A and B are shown apart, each in its own frame.
Chain A
Amino acid sequence: DVKVTQSSRYLVKRTGEKVFLECVQDMDHENMFWYRQDPGLGLRLIYFSYDVKMKEKGDIPEGYSVSREKKERFSLILESASTNQTSMYLCASRGDEKLFFGSGTQLSVL
């Protein structure tokens, strides 16, 4: 079974802090993704990566950056957290033309 692991289930951070969300997949997938899920808006793509050190902006990249130094690991970085970044963050990797998601990180920015 594909396993996508997100390092934290819940995070509480203060406005202005730098925040790192980590994601690891164990299936040697080339493509990895970060989404955020908000009520009434569904899942929106922040960034994705199609190879090590390769990244592409999704639909809502403002305020975020990403890092992919190793194939199995894809990190989402909030350079200076703001309250409007309070959300559920979902990491995914792609295989067999479908996405496999982690359990999500609920981030609260106070």
Chain B
Amino acid sequence: DQQVKQNSPSLSVQEGRISILNCDYTNSMFDYFLWYKKYPAEGPTFLISISSIKDKNEDGRFTVFLNKSAKHLSLHIVPSQPGDSAVYFCAASVGFYGNKLVFGAGTILRVKS
């Protein structure tokens, strides 16, 4: 039973346009959410996070939106660049210091130039 779901295995976007990656969760106890990016042959790297006390967090071209009532979060990348092509993992935990991060299956983003 996957508690964190990324229903789109892949997404293809034109350079300069917006990329929107979606994530749904089922455990209402989750209150801290993160996005990681993974390039081939490398480990995942932290991208951006949001706690449940917020509904939006922005860092440069990356913005994460949280809709607690829908148990849904999304990552927006504007504008998309070819270097953004990677696998994006959504993750969630109970508590800011939670040791058990639960990851989604990942979405492969391809940004075409």
Q: Which residues of A contact B (CB under 8 A)?
A: 4, 9, 31, 33, 35, 40-45, 48, 50, 56, 58-59, 90, 92, 94, 97-104
Selected from B2, B43, B49, the residue in CB contact (under 8 A) with A90 is B43
By a CB distance below 8 angstroms, the chain A residues around B46 are 98-100
A40-B105, A43-B44, A104-B43 known; A97+B96 contact, CB < 8 A = yes
Is chain A's interface secondary structure helix, strand, loop, or mixed overall? strand
Q: Which residues of B contact A (CB under 8 A)?
A: 2, 4, 6, 9, 34, 36, 41-46, 49, 89, 91, 96-97, 99-106
Query: For residue A96, which residue of chain B has the nearest CB?
Result: B46
Q: How far is the CA of A59 from the CA of B81 in the complex (A)?
A: 35
B44, B46, B105: which has the most chain A beta carbons within 10 Å? B44
Selected from B45, B97, B103, the residue in CB contact (under 8 A) with A43 is B103
* Beta-carbon contact of A94 and B99 below 8 Å: yes
* Beta-carbon contact of B43 and A42 below 8 Å: no
Q: In the complex, what's the smallest C-beta–C-beta distance from A48 to chain B, in angstroms?
A: 6
A50, A92, A98, A103: which has the most chain B beta carbons within 10 Å? A98
* Beta-carbon contact of A42 and B105 below 8 Å: yes
Q: How far is the CA of A35 from the CA of B36 in the complex (A)?
A: 14
* Beta-carbon contact of B104 and A42 below 8 Å: yes
By a CB distance below 8 angstroms, the chain A residues around B34 are 98
A92-B43, A101-B44, A104-B43 known; A48+B99 contact, CB < 8 A = yes
* Beta-carbon contact of A42 and B89 below 8 Å: yes
Q: How far is the CA of A43 from the CA of B105 in the complex (A)?
A: 7
* Beta-carbon contact of A31 and B89 below 8 Å: no
Q: In the complex, what's the smallest C-beta–C-beta distance from B56 to chain A, in angstroms?
A: 19
Query: For residue B93, which residue of chain A has the nearest CB?
Result: A97
* Beta-carbon contact of B99 and A42 below 8 Å: no
Selected from B43, B89, B96, the residue in CB contact (under 8 A) with A102 is B43
By a CB distance below 8 angstroms, the chain B residues around A33 are 99
Selected from B9, B43, B96, B100, the residue in CB contact (under 8 A) with A4 is B43
